């Protein structure tokens, strides 16, 4: 009687060898393509080129989020991206309060393609994420669900030296470094106002759809997006931040 079991390890070894070779071939191929792109021998559109800076106007794809994340460690490049955005801003000097609060790589924003109820100070990466959100989520959603433009955004602010949920103890909020913004509502071209508090649920279906499209769209750009679905503390605003955690609620 022959024992067929010893054949199984041989087949597994062959499969492993094939997979290793395929992986090496893929890595080598990517390295060659990357070298051609980096050296300028292969011309591909900016939005598909991992070596070119992020541009707000480019269509969003799988590289957008990666390019955005790189700006957290590249201050000059981040400011250059903002210079190419329809957004009025001025650089703000760094400030370290020594208690987990302060400003670093921040700008003051007065307006963009929409107005604001007041200017705000935010980190450069958060401001770039806002510019992306505004162009690729906010404005298209208003046209699709409400049939008109958003002309003004109402926010509750960005910088506040405090802990999460205003607790006496615990971690500092992303607001403590101006790395978060709370959005309360929107003013439309005809003067109507849409608010998170009044229109998230139980109201006009178009407004509800608009606000939910904003929440979902924001998750493409911000690291943390919290809505009234998260908890009672967010019943009247969206929280967007560029912190070290990921959440879309």
Cβ-in-10-Å burial (0-12, 13-18, 19+) of 149 comes to middle
* Mean pLDDT score, 22-31: 61
Yes or no: say if 132 and 76 are a contact pair by the CB < 8 Å rule.
no
Domain boundaries, given as residue ranges, for the chain = 1-43, 54-248
- pLDDT number for residue 31: 54
User: What is the three-class DSSP state of 171?
Assistant: coil
The pLDDT score that the predictor gives to residue 15 is 74
pLDDT value of residue 19: 77
What's the pTM? 0.83
Burial profile 167-198: b = 16 or more Cβ within 10 angstroms, e = fewer? eeeeeebbbbbbbbbbbbbbbbeeeeebbbee
Q: What is the predicted pLDDT for the residue at 60?
A: 95
Its sign, for the CA torsion 47, 242, 187, 204, is: positive
Q: What are phi and psi of 192, to 5 degrees?
A: -65, 150
With pLDDT > 90 as the criterion, what percentage of the chain qualifies?
Answer: 73
- 93-143 pLDDT, tens digit per residue, is 999 988 999 999 999 999 999 999 999 999 999 999 999 999 999 999 999
- Tell me which residue of 152, 149, 237 sits closest to 187, measured CA to CA: 152
| Rounded Cα–Cα distance for residues 223 and 163 (Å) | 18
Distance linking the first and last C-alpha atoms of the chain: 63
User: Do the beta carbons of residue 71 and residue 124 sit within 8 Å?
Assistant: yes
For 41-88, write each residue's pLDDT tens digit. Answer: 556 777 678 888 899 999 999 999 999 999 998 999 999 999 999 999
pLDDT at 34: 47
Give me the chain's average pLDDT, please: 89
In this model, does residue 33 exceed pLDDT 50?
no
**DSSP string across 187-218:** EETTS-EEEHHHHSSSS-HHHHHHHHHHHHHH
Query: What's the pLDDT at 37?
Result: 46
Nearest C-alpha neighbor of 128 from the set 68, 216, 171, 176: 68
């Amino acid at each position: 009687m022959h024992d067929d079991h010893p054949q199984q390890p041989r087949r597994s070894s062959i499969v492993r060898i094939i997979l290793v070779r395929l992986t090496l071939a893929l890595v080598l191929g990517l390295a060659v393509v990357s070298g051609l792109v980096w050296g300028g021998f292969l011309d591909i559109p900016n939005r598909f080129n991992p070596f070119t800076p992020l541009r707000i106007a480019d269509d969003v794809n799988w590289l957008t989020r990666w390019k955005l994340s790189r700006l957290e460690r590249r201050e000059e490049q981040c400011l250059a991206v903002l210079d190419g955005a329809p957004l009025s801003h001025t650089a703000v000097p760094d400030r370290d309060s020594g208690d987990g609060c302060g400003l670093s790589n921040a700008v003051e924003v007065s307006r963009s393609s929409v107005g604001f109820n007041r200017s705000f100070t935010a980190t450069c990466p958060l401001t770039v994420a806002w510019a992306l959100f505004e162009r690729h989520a906010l404005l298209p959603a208003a046209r699709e669900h409400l049939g008109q433009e958003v002309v003004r955004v109402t926010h509750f602010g960005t910088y506040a030296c405090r802990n999460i949920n205003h607790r006496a103890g615990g971690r500092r909020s992303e607001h403590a470094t101006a790395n978060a913004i709370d959005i309360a509502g929107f003013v439309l071209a005809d003067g109507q106002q849409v608010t998170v508090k009044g229109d998230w649920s139980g109201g006009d279906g178009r407004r509800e759809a608009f606000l939910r499209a904003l929440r979902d769209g924001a998750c493409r750009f911000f690291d943390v997006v919290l809505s009234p679905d998260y908890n009672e503390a967010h019943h009247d605003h969206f929280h967007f931040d560029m912190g070290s955690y990921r959440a879309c609620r």
